[in-house]
Amino acid sequence: EDLAREQPSTEGPQRELLVLSRERRILVLQMEALRTEAQQAETDLQDQHRRHQTELHCLREESLQVFRVFRQVSEEQRKLSEGRYRSLLLEAVQDAVYLSAQNQQLQADNKQLHKALGEIKDALVVRGDPRADLISQQE
Q: Concatenated DSSP letters for the chain?
A: -HHHHH-TT--HHHHHHHHHHHHHHHHHHHHHHHHHHHHHHHHHHHHHHHHHHHHHHHHHHHHHHHHHHHHHHHHHHHHHHHHHHHHHHHHHHHHHHHHHHHHHHHHHHHHHHHHHHHHHHHHHHHHT-THHHHHHHH-
Question: Domain range spanning residue 87?
Answer: 2-138
* pLDDT higher than 80, residue 1: no
* pLDDT higher than 80, residue 4: no
* pLDDT higher than 70, residue 139: no
Average pLDDT of 69-81? 97
Across all residues in the chain, what is the average pLDDT?
Answer: 89
* pLDDT interval class at 121 (50, 70, 90): confident
* pLDDT higher than 60, residue 35: yes
Average pLDDT of 71-78? 97
Under 8 Å CB-to-CB from 120, ≥6 apart: which residues? 135
Q: How many CB atoms are located within 10 Å of the residue 105 CB?
A: 10
Are the beta carbons of 135 and 120 closer than 8 angstroms?
yes
Q: What is the pLDDT of residues 123-138, one digit of tens each?
A: 877 877 777 677 766 6
% the chain with pLDDT above 70: 88
Count up the domains in the chain and report the number.
1
Say what the pTM is. 0.47
Distance (Å, rounded) from C-alpha 91 to C-alpha 77?
Answer: 21
